Amino acid sequence: MVDDMKNKSNSKTSKSQKNIKNNKNFRNNKPNSKIVKFKNNLNVYNEVSSKKIKSIFAFLLILFFLLIVRIAWLQFADGTKLQREAANQQTRIDTISAQRGTIYDSTGVILATSYEADNVIVQLDKLPEENKPLVAAGLSSILELTYDEVIEKLNTESLKVTISKNVTHEKINQINSWIKENKLSTYIYTEENIARYYPYSSLASNVIGFCGTDSQGLSGIEYSWDSILTGTAGKSVSSKDARSQAQIPNTEETYIPAENGYNLTLTIDVNIQNIVEKYLKQAVIENDCSRGGTAIAMDPSTGDILAMASYPDYDLNSPFTPNEYLLNGWEELSPTDKSNALQKMWNNECVTDTYEPGSVFKTITSAIALEENIVDVDVPHTLYCDGIEEVADREIKCWRAVPHYSQSLRDAFNSSCNPAFIQLGSRIGAQTSYKYYEAFGLFNKTEIALPGESTGIFFNLKDVGPVQLATMSFGQRFTITPLQMITSISAIVNDGVLMKPRIVKSITNTDTADVTEISTTEVRKVVSKETSETIISMMQSEVEIGTGKKALVKGYNVGGKTGTSEPAPGHEDEGYIASFIGIAPVEDVRMVVLVALYDPRGKSHQGGQIATPVVANIFTEVLPYLGIPANAEGSSHQNNTSDNNLY
């Protein structure tokens, strides 16, 4: 059995050896090749895995390092900038508009006031480009703007843009509904604003002026007193979420209240202004005055402007709409011409434009002659007119074909005789004349609180020869403003005391109700009281028996002086200027009125014919309104229509 077991063992061994011999590896003399190959593959695998792990670890380490560097850079280098940008994105700043001050007339009637409105604003930095057409279409439809107009604003380089200002509450409600419907609250919002309103539309338009859509004064008192009327806007600063709706928790809201502007009370009386404008407009239309007209009413004792008017006027609530005088041919004008035409329409010609005053200026010449004792008022044969006055190398005719012959100063004043005043001017001399012109303020602005004031344009004293002196004596070949003219005459009838014109009477602090009075200002005494009284009596004679008879007012003693100035050579197209200055009542002058009509093309161009009745009509209504009683001794003459009343 043992042998059998050995044999079996040998047999197995033999088979095993035989199998080994038959094996390919054995034949190739590579004993145990499988075992060796397995051992080599395992080592390679372990080596690759180790390198990968190290590479990944190194990469992650570098990435982590770069991340730390980036965080550090963001925190320390860009931190302030990023915080600012984040704050800008989260911060909502709403402007709280200041209430612009109200403008009142002297009796407390509102001439200009403000009301709440809204601005429509688009946040451009948050508005996606693809939403711009939708926004432009929607807003243009509701706000009645063109699509191109809105899309142009949406394409501007800014964080936000105002699409429209002073939008009515009705349209704001439509916009809010549209915003909600289209889920556009992130990009579009409304902001409270204050709009300007003028209850009387065109009344005193050239004096009051108007504001732009941002409530900034652009002309008139609104412009010259803008810093007083405007106030200071407030603001509300808060942090909002990404949709600019909800307040971010744990953030503070800052509120700075607006400081409202101050109120102004003018010296203008709305009732007197309305009367003056009514008759000025009527005269301009009836006499076909191509360049319109001006009128001023002043209290000579204070310098207060009771009324100031230019016609044509315009609607203060739509100042960029041309008035009826500009509409004809408006569309054919270039943009520059349109702008110039509107500027002309807005101008207050009583202070911005100069004119040749004509014979009204003879009042000044008379006052100088009396003050210098060159002539007495009622001494006969003082002056002489034979129809023509020879001056240097030329002849200057009197306005009347029939000579006036021998005259006193009062006679020459009543008949408005040019040769007589040429003689008077020659006696006075250029040096003395200019001394008084300066004293009357004709070389300087009156400094009334209105924009764009001009001043007189005279020859240089060294250039004044006999001809220049002659024409100046009766008010031609130099120019002054209507305001300068009435201020000078007011000085003469105010006991010779020149007052600074005043248009604003007081300023009221709307928060404290404190009132600051703008005091009247006495500039200087120009002529004596005696001269003043004499001139007043001459002006009364002018109305009662002279060229100013059409200024007679029943129940009142009125004085005045007519004027008609012809255009300068080379400027014939500007036409004549017909004017009249009136004073009333002569016993105690409470009111001076100057009316000038430019280029009248109707039945007459003479001041005694067309300007004088305007002043008479104004006095007829205003004097009773001022509480000045009529008296039995006042003028009761009917207006004289004689053709002799020309100048």
- In sequence order, the β-bridge partners of residue 93 are 237
Same domain, 244 and 392: no
Alpha-carbon 322 to chain mean position: 16
Assigned domain for 116 exists? yes
CA-CA distance, 33 to 53, in Å (whole number)? 31
Residues 232 and 564: their CA atoms lie apart, in Å, by: 50
Q: How far is Cα of residue 399 from the mean position of the Cα atoms in its chain?
A: 43
Classify burial at 309, counting beta carbons within 10 Å of its beta carbon; exposed 0-12, middle 13-18, buried 19 or more: buried
642 part of a folded domain: no
Q: How many other CB atoms sit within 10 Å of the CB of residue 475?
A: 26
pLDDT recorded at residue 522: 98
Residue carrying the six token digits 């943009």: 335
Q: Are residues 153 and 63 in the same domain?
A: no
Phi-psi region of 116 (alpha: psi -120 to 50; beta: other; left: phi over 0): beta
Q: Does a structural domain hold residue 49? A: yes
Q: Are residues 63 and 101 in the same domain?
A: no
CATH at residue 258: 3.90.1310.10
39 and 102 part of one domain: no
Alpha carbons within 13 A on the beta-carbon side of 611: 39
Domain stop point among 21, 54, 77 = 77
Amino acid at 365: T
Say if 608 falls within a structural domain: yes
State the amino acid at position 363 in one-letter form. T
Catalytic residues: 359
The whole model's pTM is what?
A: 0.79
- In this structure, are 117 and 185 located in the same domain? yes
Task: Note whether 67 and 126 are same-domain residues.
Answer: no
The CATH number covering residue 554 comes to 3.40.710.10
Instruction: Please report where in the chains the tokens 């007043």 appear, as a residue.
Output: 536
Q: Are residues 65 and 152 in the same domain?
A: no
Please report which helix (H) or strand (E) contains residue 385, including its range.
strand 383-385
User: 420 in a domain, yes or no?
Assistant: yes
What pLDDT is recorded for position 526? 98
Extended beta strands in 477-521, E state: 497-499, 504-508, 515-517
Return d(Cα 404, Cα 407) in angstroms, integer: 7
What is the C-alpha separation between 552 and 78, in angstroms, rounded? Answer: 85
Residues 175, 98 share a domain:
yes
Domain end, chosen from 77, 108, 132, is at: 77
Most distant pair of Cα atoms in the chain: their distance: 192
Provide the domain limits for residue 254. Answer: 92-200+232-264
- In terms of domains, do 414 and 548 share one? yes
In a domain, 214, yes or no: no
Cβ distance 222 to 113 under 8 Å?
Answer: no
Residue 615 lies in a domain: yes
Look at residue 224 and tell me if it is in a domain.
Answer: no
Give the CA distances from residue 262 to residues 227, 316, 391, in Å, rounded to whole numbers and listed in that order: 9, 20, 57
Overall number of domains in the chain:
3
Peptide bond just before 199 cis, omega within 30 deg? no
> Which phi and psi angles does 397 have, rounded to 5°?
-85, 155
Other CB atoms within a 10 A radius of the CB of residue 636 amount to 12
User: Domain check: are 507 and 396 in the same one?
Assistant: yes
Where is the domain boundary, 77, 108, 130?
Answer: 77
Token readout for 330 is 């408006």
Q: Which pLDDT does position 72 carry in this prediction?
A: 77
Identify whether residues 475 and 378 lie together within a single domain: yes
Element (H, E) at 89: helix 79-90
Question: What's the CA gap between 596 and 480, in Å, rounded?
Answer: 13
Phi-psi bin for 345: left (phi > 0), alpha (psi -120 to 50), beta? alpha
- The Cα-based distances of 432 to 193, 461, 529 in angstroms read 58, 11, 19
| Rounded average pLDDT per 10-residue block, the chain, 647 residues | 47 48 47 48 58 80 82 72 63 71 97 89 87 89 89 86 83 88 83 87 97 90 96 70 56 73 97 98 97 98 98 96 91 94 96 97 98 97 95 92 94 96 97 98 97 96 97 97 98 98 96 94 98 98 96 97 94 95 97 98 96 98 96 56 42
Output the six-digit token pair for 356: 């040749």
Residues 169, 71 within the same domain: no
Cα–Cα–Cα angle for 122, 124, 126, rounded to 5 degrees: 105
